Amino acid sequence: MADEKNPNKNSQDKIPTSKVQRATEFMKTGVKIGGNYIKHYAQKVVNPDLDRSHLDEANAQDIYNTLSQLKGSALKVAQMMSMDKNILPKAYTEQFSMAQHSAPPLSYPLIVKTFQSHFRKNPTELFDTFSREAVNAASIGQVHQASKDGKKLAVKIQYPGVADSISSDLKMVRPFAVQLLGLSEKDLDIYMGEVEQMLVSETDYELELRRSIEMSEACKHIPNVRFATYYPEYTCKKVLTMEWLDGWHLDKFLATNPSQEIRNKIGQALWDFYDYQMHSLLAVHADPHPGNFLMREDGTLCILDFGCVKVIPPYYYKEHFKVIDPIIFEDDTKLAEVFTALQFVYTDDTPTDRQFFLHLFKEMLSITLQPFQQPVFDFGNEAYFKHLFEFGEKLSKMEELRKSKKPRGSKDALYINRTYFGLYTLLNDLKAQVNTQTTWKQKFVESQQKA
């Protein structure tokens, strides 16, 4: 389940769980950030050429330190933001990426307390062996290694108070999100609403158990992909037990200097896994950050954590992928109909706004659809990703989007877009060359042309 053990030198003995306690920690962080700005501008008086890098590093560390102690929804938002390399300064992405599998873990007595509450037993009474130290600690829970009847197991334990603090946490993290993401209040309302709904589902480990079993079974035919076996008898709403899988997380895997052949093999497995879910299941593992995958030297990809699953409404799926059809994409009248259905533009937009947003989102799609338009796409093409990230940065700073009186894009697009962005980023890190031409695309286009 992990590549190396976490020494747990900075384990926590408690987590602030009440609204007052958590709000107090946020307020302390706000004071620290204010002090960082004062210090920065005082230094800038002496040195006018001073850039923001030191300010960003100080703010990022202060925000991450607070979120990592609070854990839960606030830390999850930081984790999500760390994937978006185009909208955050480097200092933030580097700090927030630690939330993927290296957050400070809980101390062992708190883990025992969770087992007593849900199983009326200590972990050492349920399992033959159970590690006192966590091997991985992320935003919602941490993983311990265990064994039972000769089987090596991974046991995920949810942090106390995570489920109960979702709504209040998202309200408190909102000012940071407004400043760092550059979103309008209307866009943030939709974003946070969808995030809250998904986070609620992530804190239900019994739901995750069902989804894990169902999706693993549905995807088991995909070449070079490996899933864990799950154990319902050792699972409850706050504890999830599965088979232990060996492998490396992405950074450790890349440090082994794998061959291009192996990079391509894992990249193809990633693409096929997401492609099948998106177009055959209409439900997708929507948390494609490096902490949720293990990679092996033979090119096997191990998939972890089905807690965050986006179920795609059929009506939305049909509209979302219509733009794959070149006949629609090159016909501005047909494309305008699709963009209206996707809520990029509205029928009551002014002619000027309508034309502006039609052009903007067509330009966006012309970039993001490039991997679908050739038989094999080289995700190691840095020029492509530079273009992609620069366009994303332009969007984040665009006044027309920030000041728009309407949100641009359906809430159902949030996790679909996040999934593809995370997938693209993983494939870029792998420098994988991937066959992107799967059978669904031709069938989909043909079905649309017959309709």
Mark whether 180 and 48 lie in a shared domain: yes
Rank 163-177, 182-196, 390-404 by mean pLDDT and report only the highest.
390-404
Share of the chain above pLDDT 70, in %: 69
80, 180 contact by CB (below 8 A): no
Q: Which ranges constitute the DSSP H helices of 237-295?
A: 250-255, 260-276
Helices (H) and strands (E) in the chain, counts: 19, 12
> Does residue 250 sit within a domain?
no
Model confidence band, residue 58 (pLDDT cutoffs 50, 70, 90): low
Mark whether 37 and 159 lie in a shared domain: yes
Domain that holds residue 434: 312-450
- Given 173, 203, 233, the domain boundary residue is 203
Model confidence band, residue 91 (pLDDT cutoffs 50, 70, 90): very low
**Do strands 293-295 and 283-285 pair parallel, antiparallel, or not at all (unpaired)?**
unpaired
Beta-carbon contacts of 317 under 8 Å, excluding residues fewer than 6 positions away, are: 282
Mark whether 317 and 192 lie in a shared domain: no
Q: Rg of the chain's alpha carbons, rounded to an integer? A: 23
Mark whether 39 and 162 lie in a shared domain: yes
Using CA atoms, how far apart are residues 448 and 443, in angstroms rounded to an integer?
Answer: 9
Region 159-167 average pLDDT = 77
> Does residue 409 sit within a domain?
yes
Mark whether 50 and 184 lie in a shared domain: yes
Using CA atoms, how far apart are residues 210 and 296, in angstroms rounded to an integer?
Answer: 26
pLDDT for the residue numbered 253: 97
**Do strands 309-311 and 283-285 pair parallel, antiparallel, or not at all (unpaired)?**
antiparallel
pLDDT for the residue numbered 111: 92
Lookup result for tokens 């709504």: 167
Q: Which ranges constitute the DSSP H helices of 144-242?
A: 166-181, 185-202, 205-219
Written as one letter, the residue type at 132 is R
Mark whether 30 and 179 lie in a shared domain: yes
Provide the mean pLDDT of the chain.
Answer: 80
pLDDT for the residue numbered 106: 77
Using CA atoms, how far apart are residues 331 and 90, in angstroms rounded to an integer?
Answer: 39
Region 207-234 average pLDDT = 96
pLDDT for the residue numbered 202: 86
The answer on pLDDT for 5 being more than 50 is no
The helix (run of H) or strand (run of E) holding residue 220 is: none
pLDDT for the residue numbered 195: 75
- Given 177, 203, 229, the domain boundary residue is 203
Mark whether 438 and 321 lie in a shared domain: yes
pLDDT for the residue numbered 146: 97
**Do strands 376-378 and 433-435 pair parallel, antiparallel, or not at all (unpaired)?**
antiparallel
Region 398-421 average pLDDT = 82
Mark whether 191 and 331 lie in a shared domain: no
The answer on pLDDT for 96 being more than 70 is no
Q: 100 versus 218: which is more confidently predicted? A: 218
pLDDT for the residue numbered 450: 62
The answer on pLDDT for 208 being more than 90 is yes
> Does residue 384 sit within a domain?
yes
> Does residue 320 sit within a domain?
yes
> Does residue 373 sit within a domain?
yes
Question: Comparing 135-139, 154-158, 208-212, which segment has the lowest mean pLDDT?
Answer: 135-139
pLDDT for the residue numbered 438: 75
Region 284-307 average pLDDT = 92
Using CA atoms, how far apart are residues 13 and 74, in angstroms rounded to an integer?
Answer: 19
Region 394-400 average pLDDT = 77
Model confidence band, residue 136 (pLDDT cutoffs 50, 70, 90): confident
- Given 203, 219, 238, the domain boundary residue is 203
The answer on pLDDT for 84 being more than 70 is no
Tokens representing 341?
């259905």
Domain count, the chain: 2
pLDDT for the residue numbered 445: 65
Model confidence band, residue 216 (pLDDT cutoffs 50, 70, 90): very high
Lookup result for tokens 């029928």: 347
Lookup result for tokens 């501005």: 332
Is pTM beyond 0.75? Reply is: yes
Tokens representing 60?
């990022």
Region 109-125 average pLDDT = 93
Model confidence band, residue 405 (pLDDT cutoffs 50, 70, 90): confident
pLDDT for the residue numbered 112: 93
The answer on pLDDT for 52 being more than 70 is no
pLDDT for the residue numbered 87: 45
> Does residue 228 sit within a domain?
no
Of the candidates 277, 282, 247, the residue with the CA atom closest to the CA atom of residue 262: 247
CA dist 283 to 68, 273, 408, Å? 30, 12, 23
pLDDT for the residue numbered 264: 98
Mark whether 21 and 169 lie in a shared domain: yes
How many C-alpha atoms does 32 have within 13 Å on its Cβ side? 17
Q: 33 versus 261: which is more confidently predicted? A: 261
Region 239-255 average pLDDT = 96
pLDDT for the residue numbered 6: 42
> Does residue 221 sit within a domain?
no
> Does residue 376 sit within a domain?
yes
